[in-house]
């Protein structure tokens, strides 16, 4: 991935290794700076930044659209007239870093100055931590739940899933909302089952909804085998323990 911006007398070319990254991955590349003038020019205030922003504010070119998470400052000094320099940079993302969704995203900003709407901008494609994706596959394959949306909110990855269509197993479940966060090497998962609630009185019967929530923390030895692979068998048992009561209720109805 690459981007180019001109800020006289400089031309900035940002080169990024890769196209997509998972939470916790390093993001690295190089910044190529060319001085198109005939005189030495200072590189002060030239930086590569890792920022987070609401996409609406970016499109509106709001001056305070970006929350700067990390900064790489280009070493101070002058770049000779007509010269070019290549400077490597790297940012280490966190396993709980924001993912890219329809509302917000991480960006790379590059160039000179503190006006973020005037520097170069590259939007990054960040996916959930691999263990989260493997976890979701269990619900998709073993229980036939379908992913509807995923987003980053309140410091966690939130994934909304719908129960299988046309089946009776989860007919009382309208939606499952999962929230994921890594705490050291443990995976914290919040389950929120939105289920139909039937209330009967002498006068009538009403159908409403209620959310049944629970939180679970899964240990590293549950998440991965001794060889480092995702422990599908162990985690399927763990997920089934949470999901089964909702399936059993519908089977009895």
Closest CA to 14 of 36, 30, 28, 34: 30
Work out the angle between the directed axes of helices 232-252 and 130-141 (0-180°, nearest 10): 40
Region class of 76: left (phi > 0), else alpha (psi between -120 and 50), else beta: beta
Pairing of strands 125-127, 2-7: unpaired
Q: Which residues of the chain have pLDDT under 70?
A: 198-207, 248-253
pLDDT digits (tens, 9 = 90+) for 10-57: 999 999 999 999 999 999 999 999 999 999 999 989 999 999 999 999
CA distance 156 to 221: 22
Q: Which helix (H) or strand (E) holds 249?
A: helix 232-252
pLDDT score, position 63? 86
CA distance 246 to 195: 9
Domains of the chain and any CATH numbers = 2-127 (2.60.40.10), 130-252 (3.90.1150)
List CB contacts of 151: < 8 A, sequence separation 6 or more.
99, 101, 102, 103, 104, 157, 158
CA distance 214 to 118: 46
Long-range contacts of 152-160, Cβ-Cβ distance < 8 Å, separation of 24 or more: 152/98, 152/99, 152/101, 152/104, 155/96, 155/181, 156/96, 156/180, 156/181, 156/190, 157/23, 157/99, 157/128, 157/129, 157/132, 157/181, 159/128, 159/132
CA distance 58 to 129: 25
């Amino acid at each position: 991935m690459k981007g180019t911006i001109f800020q006289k007398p400089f031309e900035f070319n940002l080169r990024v290794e890769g196209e997509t990254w998972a939470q916790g991955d390093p993001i690295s590349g190089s910044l190529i700076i060319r001085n198109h003038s005939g005189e030495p020019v200072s590189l002060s205030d030239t930086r590569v930044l890792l920022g987070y922003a609401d996409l609406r504010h970016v499109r509106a070119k709001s001056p305070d659209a970006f929350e700067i998470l990390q900064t790489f400052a280009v070493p101070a000094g002058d770049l000779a007239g007509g010269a070019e320099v290549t400077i490597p940079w790297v940012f280490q993302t966190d396993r709980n870093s924001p993912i890219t969704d329809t509302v917000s995203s991480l960006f790379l900003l590059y160039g000179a100055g503190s006006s973020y709407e005037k520097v170069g901008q590259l939007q990054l494609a960040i996916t959930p931590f691999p263990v989260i994706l493997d976890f979701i596959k269990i619900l998709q394959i073993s229980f036939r739940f379908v992913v509807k949306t995923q987003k980053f909110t309140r410091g966690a990855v939130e994934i909304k899933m719908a129960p299988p269509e046309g089946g009776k197993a989860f007919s009382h479940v309208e939606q499952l909302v999962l929230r994921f966060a890594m705490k050291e090497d443990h995976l914290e998962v919040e389950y929120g089952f939105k289920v139909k609630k039937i209330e009967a009185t002498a006068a009538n019967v009403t159908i409403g909804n209620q959310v049944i929530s629970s939180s679970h923390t899964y240990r590293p030895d549950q998440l991965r085998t001794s060889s480092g692979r995702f422990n599908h068998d162990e985690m399927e048992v763990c997920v089934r323990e949470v999901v089964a009561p909702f399936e059993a209720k519908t089977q009895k109805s």
